[in-house]
Structure 1
Amino acid sequence: MNAKPASPRRRSRWIMIPIKLVLSFVALSLLMVTIYRFVPPPVTWTMLLDPNGITKDWTSLDEIDPVMARAAIAGEDGKFCRHHGFDVDAIAKAAIHNASGGRVRGGSTISQQTAKNVFLFQGGGFVRKGLEAWFTVLIEAIWGKRRIMEVYLNVAETGIGTYGVQAGAMRYFHHGADKLTRAEAARIAAVLPLPKKRAAIAPGGFTRRYGNNIATRIGVVQRDGLDECLR
């Protein structure tokens, strides 16, 4: 006997399931982003999965020396104040560079890194990248640049089991992020791409050179107003 075809009502019910899931995800993500516009994210997946524990101390952007944000812009995202979440040129250059082999280079902006750090997880391939893009659009629209930088400087991993520049400053220099010098901020920024493999104290080789380069570029960021959205 031939199977009885599904009724129109049953077909519509199956069609509605993915639609409801998508709408629920959109609503939940909008709610989370809106809450974190005003409330510090209590913990991230990266923190929860860190076997080294969590050391962090949320600090408002107003209580972090401006040199730290300039160092982050100099080292991670020179167009931070001028893009809307994505630096197309940096992404294209990173793709070309990585295709040629050698040291892998990232093209993510500070906004993308913040979206990933707060709402998502490390790895995950194209699925995570797609979700990262969605959350990047949301935080750019709802948070604005100052809040994005504030959250980034508080959730970014700055050492083994250490999160945020306040905890990083205390770990490496034994004082708060409000007293960071240009050299100290540059060292922390140099650690950000590989916090488990680099050290801000007595850095050697590439990390030392990269930190010195960032320290020089901090002045350029201030002079050219590349941090104007944070003032």
Structure 2
Amino acid sequence: MGRIVTTRHSGVVTNWHDERGFGFIAPDGGGPDLFLHMREFQGAGQRPHDGMTVTYEPFLNREGQLRALHVVEVGEKWSHAPAAGRIGTQIIGYLAVACFLVIMVLEVEFWGMPAWVFAIYGGVSIISFALYWQDKRAAIAGTWRVPEEQLHLLGLVGGWPGGIVAQNLFRHKTKKERFARYFWFTVALNVLAFVAIGTIIRFDWISQLMGS
């Protein structure tokens, strides 16, 4: 386990990589820079950027890496509790997955949707989950990242349930508004396609019933 120091410190954000969601904090009192990940930034306004003065709590992880927790811009309030907006987003995401699962069951059980659809969504979701996990580890280590286009493509072809679970579980990609917009757009397209196919199948099933 790592060790956290609860005293608030101040410093300046440096070497911030906005697309990758991480950077460093140079402490005002000197010493080694601390790693800062976007998920630990609680600012309600702008995103971190080079030269931003912040307060934080230092944390030494098991690998001996200094990290900054509960980071806010100087003058803003901070909290150890998760932001209410983040909790709300998590609830919406899990509800979307649960509702879609119910719709899939109804489609398969009563309206003729092939059962192998479960296998497709399940398999692609597992791949999506694994790539989000890999990208999360890469973001922390500062190594090669999974292209966002690849994550969006997986969501479009049915991996979005696994993507939602991974985002919430790993707290990954949850603060990137641009990524979230594209992600939910792929979710909407996939669900619309699923509903359209289900409607065609139901219509054919009803036609056969009426013909018999």
TM-score between the two structures when normalised by the length of structure 1: 0.28
Q: Which structure exhibits the higher relative contact order, with contacts defined as CA atoms closer than 8 Å and separated by 6 or more residues? A: 1
- Which structure is higher in helix share? 1
- Which structure is higher in strand share? 2
Task: Compare CA radii of gyration and give the structure with the larger one.
Answer: 2
